[in-house]
Amino acid sequence: MGENKDRMLAGKWYLPDDEELAADTHRRFELCAAYNANGGAAPADRATILGELLGSLGKDVRIRPPFQCDYGYHISIGDRTFVNFNAVFLDAAPITIGADVQIGPGVQLLTPTHEMDTERRRAGWERAAPITIGDNVWLGGGVIVCPGVAIGANTVVGAGSVVTRDLPPGVLAVGNPARVVRALSP
């Protein structure tokens, strides 16, 4: 593995435009294009493409195209999870999604972050932190989950919310930034 990819996987500052990461991006581009172009294809054919694209794919996962990601191989999705149209999963760090998760249209899971120093940002430096979504979570349409966030099992995040910090299990969270408004009954 190259130095930049090693740094990326370790959560350190890296430059995303080196040759190895560019090859990974090209692979992802081709697989996402094939998946998105085959939206009407048989489920088995679409599952085959997802199996090549993603790091781990549970049983009976449904992802409605179009779907976009950075690399794909850092994404793990549990059984019976549903991802609606226009999902964007930027997986410079691992994205782990549990079983029975419902992801609304236009949801963004964003692991990368950019340098605050203007010169380093201009040079393209970034780093990434993992995102973890527990079992039976529902992310409403347009939810954005920021780098390094974990969302506990059985939590619901209201449409349009921006999740900037961890959410506990079994709560309803809404807003920008998302805040817990109440516990949910088991």
Tell me, what's the pLDDT at 19?
Answer: 87
Which pLDDT value is given to residue 39? Answer: 61
Q: Is 170 helix (H, G, I), strand (E, B) or coil?
A: coil
DSSP 6-38: HHHHTT--B-TTSHHHHHHHHHHHHHHHHHHHT
pLDDT along the chain (186 residues), means of 10: 84 88 90 83 81 95 95 97 98 97 98 94 94 98 98 98 98 98 92
- pLDDT for 20 equals 87
* Phi-psi sector, 155: left (phi>0), alpha (psi -120 to 50), beta: beta
Residue-level pLDDT at 69:
96
State residue 44's pLDDT score: 78
For residue 96, what are the β-bridge partners? 76, 132
- What residue ranges define each of the domains in the chain, with the CATH number in brackets? 3-183 (2.160.10.10)
Query: Residues 161, 81, 64, 71: is their CA dihedral positive or negative?
Result: positive
Catalytic, out of 114, 120, 121, 165: 114
Measured between alpha carbons, how far is residue 14 from residues 22, 56, 141 in Å?
13, 25, 31
- Residue 114 designated active-site: yes
